[in-house]
Amino acid sequence: MSNIKLYELKKLQTHFPAATIKDSKTAADFIRQFYGDDLEVFESFFVLMLNKANKTIGYAKISQGGIAGTVVDVRIVMKYAVESLATGIIVAHNHPSGNLKPSDGDKQITYKLKSACLIMDVPLLDHVILTADGYTSFADEGLL
């Protein structure tokens, strides 16, 4: 007999600091707090889940890589979006190099995420690239 897992949908209480995301700067500033001292050390990818009023309802670290990249699994991003009942998500990652220009890989994963989000009816609102000195927003740059 094989073991099966019980999955259930419930809200877990946390000390998550809720905020209203009004624009890309608000999103970048809010997400920046997840990085701590490692913003310039290695690449990490996060998803921020929002409700209909653009209030934060959760976040998750999707991956942590090396100094030049990290792997993002679209299914894991969507798992968190669906599980949290988000009505929109913002994804973000950092560039330890300080380069704010999106790479071809950044554009490809954004396209894959946007496609998955469309199927699940959870809009991808933005993809933010953070550096120690600034940020780039795919939404602001017309790349979504």
Q: Which residues of the chain have pLDDT under 70?
A: 1-16
How is residue 1 written in tokens? 């007999």
pLDDT computed for residue 12 by the predictor: 58
Q: 24-137: CATH homologous superfamily?
A: Cytidine Deaminase, domain 2 (3.40.140.10)
**pTM higher than 0.85:** yes
What burial class does residue 101 get, using C-beta atoms within 10 Å of its C-beta: 0-12 exposed, 13-18 middle, 19+ buried?
exposed
Token pair belonging to 81:
């979006």
Smallest Cα–Cα separation from 126: which of 24, 52, 33?
24
pLDDT score recorded for residue 90: 98
Q: What are phi and psi of 28, to 5 degrees?
A: -60, -45
